[in-house]
Amino acid sequence: MIKCPFNYGSYRKNYNLLICYPKGELTANMMNDIAICRECIVNGGLSQVDRFHDLTDISSVNLRFEHVNELCNIESQIRESANPVKAGYLVPNDLLYGTIRMYQMLIENRGVEVHVSYDIDELSDFLGVEKSILTSEKNA
Residue 90 lies in a domain: yes
Amino acid at 44: G
Q: Are residues 135 and 120 in contact, defined by beta-carbon separation less than 8 angstroms?
A: yes
DSSP-assigned beta bridge partners for residue 112: 85
Radius of gyration of the chain (CA): 14
Residue 84 lies in a domain: yes
pLDDT band at 38 (very low <50, low <70, confident <90, very high): low
Helix, strand, coil in percent for the chain, rounding step 5: 40, 25, 35
Residue 137 lies in a domain: no
pLDDT band at 18 (very low <50, low <70, confident <90, very high): confident
Number of domains in the chain: 1
Q: Per the confidence metrics, is the pTM higher than 0.85?
A: yes
Is the pLDDT at 1 greater than 80? The verdict is no
The pLDDT value given to residue 42: 59
Element of type H or E holding 54: strand 50-54
Range of the domain at 114: 2-131
DSSP-assigned beta bridge partners for residue 117: 90
Mean pLDDT for all residues in the chain: 85
Question: What does the pLDDT look like over 61-118, one tens digit per residue?
Answer: 999 999 999 988 888 887 666 678 899 999 999 999 999 999 999 998 888 899 999 9
CATH number, domain containing residue 113: 3.30.750
The pLDDT value given to residue 115: 96
The pLDDT value given to residue 87: 92
Residue 117 lies in a domain: yes
Q: Are residues 111 and 80 in contact, defined by beta-carbon separation less than 8 angstroms?
A: yes
